[in-house]
Chain A
Amino acid sequence: MSEVLSSSRKTESLPDRKIALLDATAGVFAKHMPAILAATGLVVLWQFVVWFFKIPTFMAPAPVDVFLAFRDNAGILWTNLLPTVLETILGFIFGNLVAILLAIWFVHSATAEKAFYPIAVFIKAIPIIALAPILVLIFGNGLAPKIIIAGLICFFPTLVNMVQGLKSASPAMLDLMRVLSASNTEILWKVRLPSSMPFLFAALKIAATSSVMGAIVAEWIGSSFGLGALIIEATYNFRSPLLYATVVIAAALAVVLFFIVSVVEAKMVRWKPGGTH
């Protein structure tokens, strides 16, 4: 009897779940309907303009041509995407890690902050595109200069935000930790780092998108692989549909990284900053 009941419940619950899933999907669509309509409208408009004014494909390909370019060049796009992803992720990790460690050092040593903060600002002031040839001369044509540039582009926003975040712990909280005779390490782990998380994630979201840009810019200069190299190659050969497809892929990579950072943030920062002040 119970078996019958449970099995009948199972058959009932499955469509229920499907319906719930459909509802959720429909909900997401309903929420983003204006954005979806606007994007679709623009693509249609683009197709129409290219077709109406008879714009040659090498100048500006129609959306359909770009779509076909994805199919025809899937292999090239994929092999060039992988190194760019690798450079972006490694640059993202190293750039942010160095920035976070430096920020921790600055917060504990006013002298270190005074000595190195201006240098960090100076590095930030150098145009990345001017730095790329220098790094290629030093590190050659491999992955290293790309990782460094992707890292450098993440570095500064994270450093500034992290220093601010580590200093955002209220004086009362620091007094509390002092009354508890907490060591500097304990203050760092229990108060400063947690309170810096909203600041850190604000910077990581910027870094997620700009590190892709850093890697691509680095690939423009003396590189034979990566999305950046593919952009240059496609441009010089007037393979405009491929160029556009590459740009779309690069943008998608940045969006995916941004999305991952946002998901991690939602998991890690469940409290409301300033909720108890």
Chain B
Amino acid sequence: MQGAVKLKPTVPVPEPAAASAVSVRHLHVRFGDRNNEFTALSDISVDIPEGAFVTMLGPSGCGKSTLLRCIADLIHISEGSISVFGRSPREAREGRDFAFVFQDATLLPWRTVLDNVCLPLEVGKRSHNGDHADPRALLEMVGLKGRENALPHELSGGMRQRVAIARALVTRPRILLMDEPFGALDEITRDRLNEELLRVWQETGTTILFVTHSIPEAAFLGQKVLMLQAHPGRVKEFKEVDLPFPRSLPVRDTVEFIGVTAHLRARLEECL
């Protein structure tokens, strides 16, 4: 089991692998005190297959980000369990099993691009294995070769998000948790980064769990789409996207793609 988990397929298989990267069981998350309680997530059970690219879609307030943050050990679980590669979120966090990419690039503005990418190697418990990627090679992979010594304020929003992705990959995470990382970018930049993210996924074989508001983005990136509905947040659908890989932007003009987005849109409207 442990040996199988350690394998990182360079080209992910479309059908889910036997092992699951993240396994959520009867998860409940409540906020507030007893008098004014708010249920953010109610009885969520889902398995994210290892090596998969799963996108999370749902109306505002459905708890997509909350679920992602629970997996990342940023939010306390009220009930139920989450296991990340067979460990608790806390152990997984300390063992550097996952990396998180925020909507905002959250680069440290006083550090150069290269120093920002190196940040995860400087902090945290040293218990995780010393295995890490070459920061310069990662910057080259995200198309920022030659900008190593730039400061974040000298870069565009899209470039900053590329740095954030390189920083997330530097510890060779087994799962990448992405919380609307391209939500604040213009459409052209977003399209290009979508394509590049697919390429990064295929090159690294990392499992990716990707939260988005955009139906086309969810359909274009995801092998599977996890749709949540709100009040309280629960799983609406966990749907396979039947589009072949590798995908490139023109796939969005095919009948198959439009069929997928039409289905997702219809299901999303049922949530309202």
Question: Chain A interface (Cβ within 8 Å of chain B)?
Answer: 170, 172-173, 175-183, 186, 190-191, 194-195, 197, 269-277
**Once the chains are docked, how many angstroms separate the CA of A109 from the CA of B215?**
44
Q: For the complex formed, measure the closest distance between the CB of A178 and the CB atoms of chain B, giving whole angstroms.
A: 6
Q: Which residues on the B side are within 8 Å of A190 (C-beta)?
A: 108, 119, 122-123
Assess the B102–A172 pair: CB atoms within 8 A.
Answer: yes
Assess the B124–A176 pair: CB atoms within 8 A.
Answer: no
Q: Given A179-B74, A179-B93 in contact, is the A173-B123 Cβ separation under 8 Å? A: no
Q: Which residues on the A side are within 8 Å of B122 (C-beta)?
A: 186, 190
Q: Given A181-B93, A276-B152 in contact, is the A176-B100 Cβ separation under 8 Å? A: yes
Assess the A275–B109 pair: CB atoms within 8 A.
Answer: yes
Assess the B93–A172 pair: CB atoms within 8 A.
Answer: no
Assess the B109–A170 pair: CB atoms within 8 A.
Answer: no
Assess the B151–A175 pair: CB atoms within 8 A.
Answer: no
Q: Which residues on the A side are within 8 Å of B160 (C-beta)?
A: 276
Q: Given A172-B104, A175-B100 in contact, is the A180-B120 Cβ separation under 8 Å? A: yes
* CB-nearest residue of chain A to B160: A276
The 9 lowest CB-CB distance pairs between A and B, nearest first, are: A275-B153, A181-B124, A182-B123, A271-B110, A172-B106, A271-B109, A179-B100, A272-B153, A186-B123
**Once the chains are docked, how many angstroms separate the CA of A269 from the CA of B109?**
10
**Once the chains are docked, how many angstroms separate the CA of A274 from the CA of B107?**
11
Q: Which residues on the B side are within 8 Å of A186 (C-beta)?
A: 122-124
Assess the B106–A173 pair: CB atoms within 8 A.
Answer: yes
Q: Which residues on the A side are within 8 Å of B74 (C-beta)?
A: 175, 178-179
Q: Given A270-B110, A271-B110 in contact, is the A176-B102 Cβ separation under 8 Å? A: yes
Q: For the complex formed, measure the closest distance between the CB of A183 and the CB atoms of chain B, giving whole angstroms.
A: 8
Assess the A194–B106 pair: CB atoms within 8 A.
Answer: no
Q: Given A175-B100, A182-B123, A186-B123 in contact, is the A272-B106 Cβ separation under 8 Å? A: no
Q: For the complex formed, measure the closest distance between the CB of A252 and the CB atoms of chain B, giving whole angstroms.
A: 33
Q: For the complex formed, measure the closest distance between the CB of A246 and the CB atoms of chain B, giving whole angstroms.
A: 42
Where chain B touches its partner, the secondary structure class is loop
Assess the B110–A194 pair: CB atoms within 8 A.
Answer: yes
Question: Chain B interface (Cβ within 8 Å of chain A)?
Answer: 72-74, 93-94, 96, 98-100, 102-110, 119-120, 122-125, 151-153, 160
Assess the B104–A276 pair: CB atoms within 8 A.
Answer: yes
Assess the B120–A271 pair: CB atoms within 8 A.
Answer: no
**Once the chains are docked, how many angstroms separate the CA of A274 from the CA of B123?**
23
* CB-nearest residue of chain B to A178: B74
Q: For the complex formed, measure the closest distance between the CB of A186 and the CB atoms of chain B, giving whole angstroms.
A: 5
Q: Which residues on the B side are within 8 Å of A173 (C-beta)?
A: 106, 108
**Once the chains are docked, how many angstroms separate the CA of A176 from the CA of B94?**
13
Assess the B110–A180 pair: CB atoms within 8 A.
Answer: no
**Once the chains are docked, how many angstroms separate the CA of A180 from the CA of B153?**
23
A-B contact pairs, 6 of them (CB 8 A): A181-B94, A182-B123, A190-B122, A271-B153, A272-B153, A275-B109
**Once the chains are docked, how many angstroms separate the CA of A271 from the CA of B160?**
15
Q: Given A180-B119, A180-B123 in contact, is the A276-B153 Cβ separation under 8 Å? A: yes
Q: Which residues on the B side are within 8 Å of A270 (C-beta)?
A: 110, 151
Assess the B109–A191 pair: CB atoms within 8 A.
Answer: no
Q: A170-B104, A172-B102, A175-B100 are in contact. List 4 more A-B contacts (CB 8 A).
A: A178-B93, A180-B124, A276-B107, A276-B160
**Once the chains are docked, how many angstroms separate the CA of A267 from the CA of B189?**
34
Q: Which residues on the B side are within 8 Å of A175 (C-beta)?
A: 74, 100, 102, 106
Assess the A179–B99 pair: CB atoms within 8 A.
Answer: yes
**Once the chains are docked, how many angstroms separate the CA of A182 from the CA of B171?**
14
**Once the chains are docked, how many angstroms separate the CA of A173 from the CA of B100?**
11
* CB-nearest residue of chain B to A179: B100
Q: Which residues on the B side are within 8 Å of A275 (C-beta)?
A: 109, 151-153
Q: Which residues on the A side are within 8 Å of B98 (C-beta)?
A: 179
Of A170, A176, A186, A271, the most chain B CB neighbours within 10 A belong to A176
Q: For the complex formed, measure the closest distance between the CB of B202 and the CB atoms of chain A, giving whole angstroms.
A: 24
Q: For the complex formed, measure the closest distance between the CB of B101 and the CB atoms of chain A, giving whole angstroms.
A: 10
Assess the A271–B106 pair: CB atoms within 8 A.
Answer: no
**Once the chains are docked, how many angstroms separate the CA of A170 from the CA of B93?**
21
Of B94, B122, B123, the most chain A CB neighbours within 10 A belong to B123
Assess the B125–A181 pair: CB atoms within 8 A.
Answer: yes
**Once the chains are docked, how many angstroms separate the CA of A277 from the CA of B106?**
7
Q: Which residues on the B side are within 8 Å of A172 (C-beta)?
A: 102-104, 106
Assess the B108–A191 pair: CB atoms within 8 A.
Answer: yes
Q: For the complex formed, measure the closest distance between the CB of B253 and the CB atoms of chain A, giving whole angstroms.
A: 35
* CB-nearest residue of chain A to B103: A172
